[in-house]
Structure 1
Amino acid sequence: MTRVYPFFGIFLQRTLAALAFGFGAVAVVLADGEAQEFIPDTPAIHIQSLIKEAAHPRLRWGKFPDYQAQMEQLYLQNGLIPLWLNDGKPTRQARILVASLEDADNRGLNAADYDAELLNQWLGEFEGTVANPREIAFFDVALSLATMRYVSNLYMGRINPNNVDYGLSVEPKRVDLPNLVQKAAQSENPDSIINALEPKFPIYERLKAALPRYQRLAKEIDSVRFSFPARFRPGDRHKDVPRLRHLLHALGDLAEIDPATVDSPIYEPELAKAVKQFQQRHGLATDGIIGKNSLAQLNFPLADRLRQIQLGLERLRWLPERIPGDYLVVNIPSFQLFGFRNGAAFGQSDLQMNVIVGESVNGRHTPVFHSDMTYIIFRPYWNLPYRITVKEMLPQILRNPGYLAKHNLEIVANFSPSAPVYEPNFRNVEMLSTGALKLRQKPGPKNALGLVKFAFPNHNNIYLHSTPSKGLFKKARRDFSHGCIRVEDPVGLAQFILADQGEWTRERIESLMNGTRPRTVTLKQAVPVYIFYSTVLADESGSVSFYNDIYGHDLVLSDLLAKGFPYPS
């Protein structure tokens, strides 16, 4: 027989509930000496069950094995007392946190992932009624779990970058979630705790500020399809021109629409100027001509633009809170390099230049990773990777014995500066195919690396370098390399890197680049280099630029996010 004694005081019920969390039922000895089994129906019993199963039946993503240990620690250190309700009524902090979860969409997350609507509904149900222990536990665990997920996702992202083959680590950003959630539950201003966790990069703030506008545009201009003829030029006429005016005005590229031309089918100069602005923001040639690429960008769904911003914010959360000293960021999709002085936040660059990155085909992608630049080589050798030697060079050499001399290539025993050089005979060429001998290109203006190489050791064998093929920088899309990154202004980059190492003037740098032998300069202070991937950026004016997902990384990340919690750790 089981008896329940409702007259037990709150203290006794909490004590028994605490025991029940660890041991289940409790034997109570009554005055007549009869031992009765007592199973207190308190929130702790249901909290224990939810955490033990690492599953909540009411939530969108109810399984939480990845947060199970932290949830257990949170409730054990709180004495098994609900964090978000007092006497069955939601605390002020609970209401603030639920409101913050409802605002998740404006931070680039999804409020539905944190069950914001359900939690808000629960708040309403607790009004005017006495909540039973089961509902108290279900609400409390749901809000604690949602808060853990939310603060973690805002701080270090939902997806571990290692799971998308990015060489970036979020391990240094891991936080004590149980203490953080408990602090939020007790704080006078829980929002300040949430806000403090978001990245402080200006570019993050700009992209976040753009979210409401693109949320509105995605709803108001759901699907705009233009059908301009090939290479539609200023002065041409088409029925879609009035709609083009309205779209570019909505996007901010056309400041205002002249009432006199609002319905005109003529593609006039003022509209062409707005098209050029649109082209510039989308990484296109800014000629005002609406060709195949411009048309594709004009027809790109605005809901997908919104998704690009959300993915951009996710990736920015993978970066360290602060990068001390000088550092470089190469953004692959925009084909740009940014240099930052003295720990300046991402978005306040002191140096900017165009770059050429790895091809989007043939397995030549430039990888995403972080390393530290430690030295610069002026007039470098190009040590050809085995894959390039076998696949690209050997067929040329076998067809034309003079190919080696024509391109300043030499066969060597290894890649050390003093390596023996071998005659280009058939036997030695054959040894190139097995990797027993190596191929390198001598320094000089025709060297594939140009006249300077910026080295940051990494297992991908990726580096920054100049190039003799300067004409490629005039192209809007610049994925032409084998994977390494060619820089448009190598002298400017060298000046930036060597600024704290004495008198490294432009003249001195150019003198070494045009010297007679290789020269290695070791950096006194290593410079962090982040090879990054974001198909969206925003400038100081708040203007948002979008770029092609040349490697398909947005698709991969979007698919992973769509799977929901628990994400791979």
Structure 2
Amino acid sequence: MTAVLVRPSFVGTVIFKVLTFVGVWVILAQSALSSDLAFRQAAAEELASTPALAEFYRERDYAPLWTSSADTERRAALFRALAMAPEHGLPAERYDAEGLKAAFLSLASERQRGRLEARVTKSFITYAEDMQSGVLDPRRVDSGIVREVPKRDRLATMRALAASDPSAYFGALPPQMPQYEQLRRAKMDLERLIERGGWGETVHAKTLRPGDTGTEVIALRDRLIRMGYLARSASAVFDGEMQKAVQRFQIDHGLHTDGIAGAGTLAEINVGAERRLHSVVVAMERLRWMNGISLGRRHIWVNLPDFSAKIIDDGKVTFETATVVGMNEHDRRSPEFSDLMEHMVINPTWNVPRSITVKEYLPMLQRNPRAVGHLKIVDRRGRVVSRDGTDFRQFTARNFPFSMSQPPSERNALGLVKFMFPNRWNIYLHDTPTKSLFQKEVRAFSHGCVRLGSPFDFAYTLLARQTDDPKGEFHRHLRTGRETTVLLKQPVPVHLVYFTAWPDARGAIEFRRDVYGRDQRIFEALISAGVVLDALRG
């Protein structure tokens, strides 16, 4: 039998090729669909525990943000930012930059890519929150820090990142107050200084004054030189130049400016650069807690360890006065928070807080019913209680049924004016009849409220925004002797803060004592959270 060769028709050939092409396309489409599904499933599984992040990816149909070839610029910006985290006193290991880089290099499947996409997003959001709002929850560190820390919405953060230029976005994450950048630079300067040996040997004298000579004067001279307060000198005498240097140091550290290196001044001079670095790192964290709070074009800045209250207008100090703050006892330390000053009360009545009434005055009344005679004792109906007719020994702190108050007078514990920003802690600024305390260097003596050294001038400055004669307006009410509330037509933000390191007008860092020990607790908490300072490694 002879074989017959059958040639395919032209039409058959075309159909065969079309079917082959369609088959290949279907196979490729199925493969791509399978890969896309693997990426989506892996990313969704990793993000399931973080609803806002999961929502972000769902609303963009799981389009990647970090792991595609189109994400190179954003990816590079993130890793640059993570590399700089230690400069900000942030716990860099928390963001696992090296682990993420290694994962990029070892990608072998779409499922791995989906999981890595989610990992990078989690690291980013942790970094962004630490940078914007702080590493720590301040209330967990110290009960006296009652500040409300602004927290960003995670979904809004992710949307903003996706819509922004990456470099500009990461540059805008840290607090934008100029003081933050000044503190960051001070941190780096101190780290370099520590690597070079710090400020040298400490001074062991008890007191050094003009005219003194000897080895301890030389030690003081050398330390002041290394701190930048004294030009290089070979003098072994406490001369006029050294006195001026000591005075400049005293100004920068909130000390009496007598030019004598007494016990308090020498204690501050002997504080090492390492401790000053602690203060700067903590100050940066504190500013992150306040990031997002509008200070106000006009605001009141009460820095507790500086023992000062300032009125600041458009970034410039327009009024400043000394303060007395809460004493360093558990229930008397002044808290830290921000609020809105709404009014002042001229010729105020002092309604004694119950804690003071039962802890301090009740025991005195039990010993002598006529004790603290300047205070009225009234019952729940507002009737004055007869001291001689009452046996105060029958009462305890729990069942004492009376309240105590002091009528307006120059002897009133609140003085002649108080400034109110109603808050749950019953903290306010006020005058005081005890003026001698303002002469002391450390002024922590109150029950928690803040006493002002120049309360009348403080009032005039506030009233000047709403009357042409602020002094006359104030004294018109004062002369009546009656309790009078004067509203501020424009309420003023007030910030009770605690900065032991803060830039002055020139950007140089001034330091203060950690009177409540709060900064030390914050620093220890930062170290526990993973903050590493290379300069402090042994």
Given the superposition, is the C-alpha separation of residues 14 and 317 from structure 1 closer, same or farther in structure 2, using an over 3 Å criterion?
farther
- Do structure 1's residue 293 and structure 2's residue 264 form an aligned pair? yes
Q: How far apart are 1:11 and its partner, in Å? A: 5.8
8 Å CA contact 1:377, 1:519 repeated in 2: yes
Q: Which residue of 2 aligns with 1:206?
A: 182
User: Which AA in structure 1 matches 2:491?
Assistant: A
| Partner SS state of residue 373, structure 1 | strand
What is the alpha-carbon root mean square deviation over aligned residues? Answer: 3.3
The correspondence for 2:209, drawn from 227, 233, 236, is 233
Alignment correspondent of 1:333: 305
User: Which AA in structure 1 matches 2:146?
Assistant: G
* Structure 1 residues 253-272: aligned runs within 5 Å: 253-254=229-230, 256-258=231-233, 261=234, 264-272=235-243
Which structure has more relative contact order (CA 8 Å, sep 6+)? It is 2
Flag the 1:219–1:430 CA change in 2: closer, same or farther, 3 A: same
Find the aligned partners of 2:93 and 2:198 in 1 and give their Cα distance.
21
Q: Does 1:478 align with 2:443?
A: yes
Native 8 Å contact 1:102 1:117 kept in 2? no
Supply the AA of the counterpart residue of 2:147: L
CA distance in 2, matches of 1:473, 1:11: 81
Partner residue, 1:412: 378
Q: Work out the number of aligned pairs and report it.
A: 503
Change (3 A) 1:223 1:139: farther
Q: Structure 2 counterpart of 1:190, which letter?
A: P
Which consecutive residues of structure 2, in runs of 5 or more, have no partner in the other structure?
A: 1-23, 532-538
Amino acid at match of 1:208: R
Question: Which residue, 143, 152, 157 being the options, matches 2:134?
Answer: 157
Matches of 1:562 and 1:111, distance apart in 2: 12
The CA distance in 2 between the partners of 1:142 and 1:565, in whole Å, is 19
Note if 1:454 corresponds to 2:419.
yes
TM-score (norm 1): 0.78
Distance 2:406 2:395 in 1: 14
Which residue of structure 2 lines up, in the alignment, with residue 111 of structure 1?
Answer: 92
Question: Residue 172 of structure 2: SS of its match in structure 1?
Answer: helix
SS at match of 2:323: strand
Structure 1 residue 360 displacement after superposition = 0.4
Name 1:427's counterpart in structure 2. 390
Once the two structures are superposed, the pairs formed by residues 121-200 of structure 1 within 5 Å of their partners are 122=102, 126=105, 136=113, 140-163=117-140, 164-165=142-143, 166-171=145-150, 173-175=151-153, 177-178=154-155, 180-181=157-158, 183-184=160-161, 187=164, 189-200=165-176
Q: 1:294-325: per-residue Cα shift (whole Å, max 9, x none)?
A: 33323323223222112112212222442445
8 Å CA contact 1:379–1:514 kept in 2: the answer is no
> The residue matched to 2:215 in structure 1 has which SS?
coil
Offset at residue 139 of structure 1 (A) = 5.2
1:35 alignment counterpart: none
**Structure-1 residue corresponding to 2:21:** none
Q: Aligned letter for 1:83?
A: L
CA distance in 1, matches of 2:464, 2:149: 30
Letter in 1 for 2:410: P
Query: Judging changes above 3 Å, is the alpha-carbon distance between structure 1 residues 504 and 465 closer, same or farther for their aligned structure 2 residues?
Result: farther
Aligned equivalent of 1:355: 323
2:288 corresponding residue in structure 1? 317
1:37 counterpart residue number: none
2:488 to 523, 540, 545: 523
Distance 2:27 2:522 in 1: 53
Q: What's the counterpart of residue 360 of structure 2?
A: 392
- C-alpha separation between the residues in 1 aligned to 2:32 and 2:321? 64
CA displacement at 1:98 relative to structure 2: 1.0
Alpha-carbon distance between aligned partners in 1 of 2:247 and 2:31, rounded to the nearest angstrom? 72
Summarize the Cα distance change of 1:77–1:503 in structure 2 as closer, same or farther, 3 Å threshold: same
Following superposition, the deviation at residue 332 of structure 1 comes to: 1.1
Which residue number in structure 2 is paired with residue 442 of structure 1?
A: 407
Give the letter aligned to residue 409 of structure 1. Answer: L
Distance 2:530 2:277 in 1: 21
Residue 366 of structure 2 contacts residue 391 of structure 2 at CA under 8 Å; is this kept in 1? no
CA displacement at 1:409 relative to structure 2? 2.0
Q: Could you tell me which residue of structure 1 aligns to residue 34 of structure 2?
A: 16
Partner of 1:39: none
Q: Does 1:376 align with 2:344?
A: yes
Output the CA distance in 1 between the equivalents of 2:275 and 2:255: 18
Mapping of 1:493-512 within 5 angstroms?
493-512=458-477
Say which SS state the counterpart of residue 279 (structure 1) adopts: helix
Question: CA separation in 2, counterparts of 1:198 and 1:485?
Answer: 31
User: Counterparts of 1:431 and 1:203 in 2: how far apart (Å)?
Assistant: 57
TM-aligned CA distance change 1:385 to 1:186, over 3 Å = closer
* Residue aligning to 1:40: none
Question: Which of 35, 43, 65 lines up with 1:83 in the alignment?
Answer: 65
Work out which of the two has the higher radius of gyration on C-alpha atoms and give 1 or 2. Answer: 2
Amino acid at match of 2:260: I
SS in 1 for 2:526: helix
Q: Give me the TM-score of the superposition, normalised by structure 2.
A: 0.82
Give deviations 1:172-200, integer Å, cap 9, x for gaps: x423x34544654674x412112323323
CA gap 1:404/1:240 in 2 versus in 1, 3 angstroms = closer
Unaligned 5+ segments in structure 1 are 1-5, 21-42, 53-64
For each residue in 1:255-312, what CA deviation from the matched residue of structure 2 results, as whole angstroms up to 9, or x when unmatched?
A: x313xx2xx4333322232222222222322233333333332332322322211211
Q: What do the CA deviations read for 1:105-151 (whole angstroms, capped 9, x no partner)?
A: 333434344334555x549x84xx98665765565444323321222
Q: Is the 8 A contact 1:365 1:551 kept in 2?
A: yes
